[in-house]
């Protein structure tokens, strides 16, 4: 009898209180590898602010910047396992989980400016690429910008011959590997969070990145020279765990989608300024000499990297490269 009363009491308590999840906010853990004071860091903060506002606090976004939770490869695995719900890895980082198509964004000089990029990401090709993520247990929500990459090293990088034998840290993209091989360099895949130390200790000699990433990771303090090349682009795909996302109540998901749309407009509207400001700050620090190329030197770099298009055609897919170029309105490579 006593047991029966206890059981009835606990059932009543359950009915009154309800399952914990119905009462507590939905937590979105958003892990990323860069500093908060970067294009991605700021867009993530904006998403948090808007998602919490539009859902009246039913959603709580916890941001873990600067690889505090996971490094590059681990964060994608953690997302697939459901240990975190949201990430924004760069296009260059999806190869190791079996999606190499995003590496098309890594092709040298494929994007002259951000307006051209938008034609791809806002068009049918951009939508189709996001769909590829479904098969990996992810949903692609948006494209976020960082910006254009520059080269840095402890030696002056002016013409292609200067790159011979130089060890460069790269993201995990075969296109980037081919790019540095075309220059006669030695590429080495390394997680973003390890780059500063690798440059400082001489494990690698140089790296390629945007001004905002260089500045906020203090790479300029351990690199004597940086060359304005704008030879490639770093942007992000915002991804969520598909099961988590599909399982959200429809109104909450709709409000999060609205927050994501606005955070994307906000972030992409200020990324170029973030990078301009970082370049100014690097110049002001006086720690890195900034090298600007003449049109002839720029042309020589383009020519040296041109073979990459053929080298990676079978990996990325020639039809995909052609379609990308068509959408950007570029002449073929
Ligand atoms: C890198 O690894 O260099 C970048 O993708 C880091 C980032 O997220 O911007």
CATH code for the domain in which residue 280 is found: 3.40.190.170
| Average pLDDT rounded to a whole number, residues 204-216 | 98
**By residue range, what is the domain housing residue 41?**
2-328
pLDDT for 7 equals: 45
| Average pLDDT rounded to a whole number, residues 213-229 | 98
Q: Is 305 in the pocket of ligand 1 (CB under 6 A)?
A: no
Q: What is the pTM of this model?
A: 0.92
Q: At 3, is the pLDDT very low, low, confident or very high (cuts 50, 70, 90)?
A: very low
Q: Is 87 in the pocket of ligand 1 (CB under 6 A)?
A: no
Q: Does pLDDT of 152 surpass 70?
A: yes
pLDDT for 204 equals: 98
Dist. CA 177 → ligand 1 center (Å): 15
Q: Is 170 in the pocket of ligand 1 (CB under 6 A)?
A: no
Give the pair of three-digit tokens for residue 292.
């600007």
Q: Return the best residue to mutate from 31, 32, 33 for the ligand 1 pocket (most ligand atoms within 8 A of CB).
A: 33
Flag whether 88 is in a domain.
Answer: yes
pLDDT for 9 equals: 42
pLDDT for 106 equals: 98
Flag whether 164 is in a domain.
Answer: yes
pLDDT for 332 equals: 64
Q: Which atom of ligand 1 is the closest one to the Cα of 191?
A: 2
Nearest protein CA to atom 1 of ligand 1, as residue: 192
| Average pLDDT rounded to a whole number, residues 63-72 | 96
Q: Does pLDDT of 129 surpass 70?
A: yes
Q: Does pLDDT of 4 surpass 90?
A: no
Nearest protein CA to atom 3 of ligand 1, as residue: 192
Q: Is 275 in the pocket of ligand 1 (CB under 6 A)?
A: no
Q: Does pLDDT of 21 surpass 90?
A: no
Flag whether 333 is in a domain.
Answer: no
| Average pLDDT rounded to a whole number, residues 168-196 | 98
Flag whether 182 is in a domain.
Answer: yes
| Average pLDDT rounded to a whole number, residues 218-233 | 98
Q: Which atom of ligand 1 is the closest one to the Cα of 72?
A: 2
Q: Which atom of ligand 1 is the closest one to the Cα of 93?
A: 5
Q: Does pLDDT of 18 surpass 90?
A: no
Report how many domains make up the chain.
1
Flag whether 92 is in a domain.
Answer: yes
pLDDT for 23 equals: 55
| Average pLDDT rounded to a whole number, residues 86-105 | 97
pLDDT for 331 equals: 63
Q: SS3 letters for the chain?
A: CHHHHHHHHHHHHHHHHCCHHHHCCEEEEEECCCCCCCHHHHHHHHHHHHHHHHCCCCEEEEEECCCCCCCHHHHHHHHHHCCCCEECCEHHHCHHHCCCHHHHHHCCCCCCCHHHHHHHHCCHHHHHHHHHHHHHCEEEEEEEEEEEEEEEECCCCCCHHHHCCCEEEECCCHHHHHHHHHCCCEEEECCHHHHHHHHHHCCCCEEEECHHHHHHCCHHHHCCEEEEEEEEEEEEEEEEEHHHHHCCCHHHHHHHHHHHHHHHHHHHHHHHHHHHHHHHHHHHHCCCEEEECCHHHHHHHHHHHCCHHHHCHHHHCHHHHHHHHHHHCCCCC
Flag whether 130 is in a domain.
Answer: yes
Q: At 329, is the pLDDT very low, low, confident or very high (cuts 50, 70, 90)?
A: confident
Dist. CA 192 → ligand 1 center (Å): 6
pLDDT for 313 equals: 97
Flag whether 196 is in a domain.
Answer: yes
| Average pLDDT rounded to a whole number, residues 77-91 | 97
Nearest protein CA to atom 2 of ligand 1, as residue: 192
Dist. CA 91 → ligand 1 center (Å): 9
Q: Return the best residue to mutate from 30, 31, 32, 34 for the ligand 1 pocket (most ligand atoms within 8 A of CB).
A: 34
Q: Does pLDDT of 19 surpass 60?
A: no
* Percent of the chain whose pLDDT exceeds 90: 91
Q: Is 146 in the pocket of ligand 1 (CB under 6 A)?
A: yes
Dist. CA 3 → ligand 1 center (Å): 59
pLDDT for 24 equals: 86
pLDDT for 14 equals: 41
pLDDT for 72 equals: 95
Q: Which atom of ligand 1 is the closest one to the Cα of 171?
A: 2
Q: At 330, is the pLDDT very low, low, confident or very high (cuts 50, 70, 90)?
A: confident
Flag whether 71 is in a domain.
Answer: yes
Q: Does pLDDT of 321 surpass 60?
A: yes
Task: Kindly give, in sequence order, each residue whose CB lies less than 8 Å from that of residue 53, ignoring residues fewer than 6 positions away.
Answer: 259
| Average pLDDT rounded to a whole number, residues 280-301 | 98
Mean residue pLDDT of the chain comes to 93
Q: Return the best residue to mutate from 213, 215, 235, 236 for the ligand 1 pocket (most ligand atoms within 8 A of CB).
A: 213
Q: Does pLDDT of 17 surpass 70?
A: no
pLDDT for 10 equals: 43
């Amino acid at each position: 009898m006593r047991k029966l009363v206890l059981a009835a009491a606990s059932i009543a308590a359950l009915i009154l209180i309800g399952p914990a999840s119905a009462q507590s906010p939905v937590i979105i853990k958003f892990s990323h590898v860069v500093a908060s004071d970067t294009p991605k860091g700021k867009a993530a903060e904006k998403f948090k602010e808007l998602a919490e506002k539009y859902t009246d606090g039913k959603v709580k976004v916890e941001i873990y910047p600067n690889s505090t939770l996971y490094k590059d490869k681990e964060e994608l695995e953690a997302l697939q396992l459901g240990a975190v719900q949201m990430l924004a890895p760069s296009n260059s980082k999806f190869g190791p989980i079996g999606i190499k198509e995003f590496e098309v964004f890594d092709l040298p000089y494929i994007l002259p400016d951000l307006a051209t990029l938008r034609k791809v990401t806002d068009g049918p090709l951009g939508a189709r690429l996001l769909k590829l993520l479904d098969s990996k247990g992810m949903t692609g929500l948006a494209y976020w910008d960082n910006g254009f990459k520059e080269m840095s090293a402890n030696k002056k990088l002016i013409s292609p011959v200067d790159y011979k034998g130089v060890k460069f840290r790269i993201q995990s993209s075969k296109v980037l590997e081919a790019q540095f091989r075309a220059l006669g360099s030695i590429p080495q895949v390394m997680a973003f969070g390890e780059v500063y130390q690798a440059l400082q200790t001489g494990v690698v000699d140089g790296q390629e990145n945007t001004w905002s990433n260089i500045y906020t990771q203090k790479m300029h303090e351990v690199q004597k020279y940086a060359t304005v090349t704008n030879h490639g682009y770093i942007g992000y795909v915002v991804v969520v765990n598909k099961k988590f996302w599909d399982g959200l109540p429809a109104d909450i998901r709709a409000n999060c989608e609205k927050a994501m749309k606005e955070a994307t407009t906000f972030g992409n509207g200020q990324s170029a300024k973030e990078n301009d400001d970082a370049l100014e700050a690097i110049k002001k620090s006086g720690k890195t000499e900034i090298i600007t190329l003449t049109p002839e030197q720029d042309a020589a770099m383009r020519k040296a990297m041109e073979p990459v298009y053929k080298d990676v055609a079978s990996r990325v897919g020639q039809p995909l490269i052609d379609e990308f170029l068509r959408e950007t309105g570029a002449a073929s490579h």
